[in-house]
Structure 1
Amino acid sequence: MPHGLLRGKAWKFGDNINTDLISPAQYMEMNYEEIGRHAMEGVMPGFSDRICKGDFIVAGENFGSGSSRETAQIALKYAGVGGVIAKSFARIFFRNSINTGLPVLELEEINKIEQGDELEVDLGAGIIKNLSKNESYVVPPLPANVKELVEAGGLIPYLRAKHKK
């Protein structure tokens, strides 16, 4: 798939999913792969064993509230999550997602997406296609500089690549 175009299945969650539910604190000191094996364990045990690489988390309001540590985003990335679509995000979670290369998009009509729907997301155009329902939803597209950070895998890989040039 071209850069900026993502595809995967929707995994639905509700409102106020905080960072302790996304990445339980007892795994915080482990390596990234192990942290990823425990992603979303606080709300759905076994989540990382059930998803396919590239699947999306679709959630309600205030996704990622709580701690500012980046282990929540790391857990999701290493579990294979392709991105998070939510009605709203805690601001620090949103920024940390960009810094770690995890695509995040805000969608007001989150209730139109159901568990298991097949989604195709165009980060540059700001379009989420629900292939299961033959519907499209428009979201604010990621600004070019933010999209570039996400596609590079986050701030550190982006800066490393820039420095090599």
Structure 2
Amino acid sequence: MQLQGNTHVYGNNIDTDRIIPGKYTKTLDTSQLAAHVLEDLDPKFKENVKEGDIIVADNNFGCGSSREQAPLALKSAGISIVIARSFARIFFRNAINIGLPVIEVPDHHIEKGDIVEVDLSEGIVFNLTRNEKYYGTTMPLVMIDILQEGGLISYLKKNKDYIL
């Protein structure tokens, strides 16, 4: 699974309230989530994000709460993958469950506006802007299958005969 896009870069401890403020989490309308994603952290994000863009962060991305709306808001805004040095475990799993690719890359030098390509199966990130390669964690095949199906529910529906 390969993804390529323009980067939006953030720091450490970006919590779920910064990703999507709690006052917007009472809706099932994903366009409303997308309209308010990262608005407190980066008020210009909504204006600048394009379909296929990539979020890059430092440590502990998605900490704070177990709200599934955080990765859903990012995905709904067009984010194709989140790269971070580390993730809060519940955010990582919620992202996979809703079909948003994520990869931990402990040592990267990605800056805002860099164009990167991610080979999720191999755990490799190519910074095309800087001609650098970074190594991240490789994702288990079952998680890649879940992502390719668009999330856990779609995966389980497709594979219901095999999961008993």
**Structure 2 length-normalised TM:** 0.94
- Partner residue of 2:67 out of 66, 69, 76: 69
Code of the residue aligned with 2:64 in structure 1: it is G
After TM superposition, what 4+ stretches of structure 1 lie above 3 angstroms from structure 2? none
2:75 is the alignment partner of 1:80? no
Question: Conserved in 1, the CA contact under 8 Å of 2:123 and 2:136?
Answer: yes
Question: Conserved in 2, the CA contact under 8 Å of 1:37 and 1:49?
Answer: no
Question: Conserved in 1, the CA contact under 8 Å of 2:107 and 2:135?
Answer: no
Rounded to whole Å, the distance in 2 between the matches of 1:77 and 1:51 is 11
- Partner residue of 1:17 out of 11, 14, 19: 14
Question: Conserved in 2, the CA contact under 8 Å of 1:38 and 1:46?
Answer: no
- Partner residue of 2:111 out of 111, 114, 119: 114
Code of the residue aligned with 1:47 in structure 2: it is F
Rounded to whole Å, the distance in 1 between the matches of 2:123 and 2:19 is 25
What value does the CA root-mean-square deviation take over the aligned residues?
A: 1.3
Q: How far 1:32 moved relative to its partner?
A: 1.0
- Partner residue of 1:137 out of 134, 137, 145: 134
Code of the residue aligned with 2:96 in structure 1: it is I
Code of the residue aligned with 2:82 in structure 1: it is V
Taking every aligned residue pair, what percent have the same amino acid on both sides? 46
Code of the residue aligned with 2:46 in structure 1: it is S
**Structure 1 length-normalised TM:** 0.93
- Partner residue of 1:52 out of 50, 65, 69: 50
Question: Conserved in 1, the CA contact under 8 Å of 2:99 and 2:148?
Answer: yes
Query: What whole-Å deviation, never above 9, does each CA across 1:19-48 have from its counterpart, x for those lacking one?
Result: 000011111122111111111112011313
Rounded to whole Å, the distance in 2 between the matches of 1:142 and 1:54 is 20
Code of the residue aligned with 1:45 in structure 2: it is P
Code of the residue aligned with 1:144 in structure 2: it is L
Q: 1:48 and 1:160, CA in 2 relative to 1: closer, same or farther beyond 3 A?
A: farther
Code of the residue aligned with 2:81 in structure 1: it is G
Rounded to whole Å, the distance in 1 between the matches of 2:23 and 2:47 is 19
Rounded to whole Å, the distance in 2 between the matches of 1:47 and 1:159 is 33
Gapped runs of 5+ residues in structure 1? none
Rounded to whole Å, the distance in 2 between the matches of 1:24 and 1:161 is 33
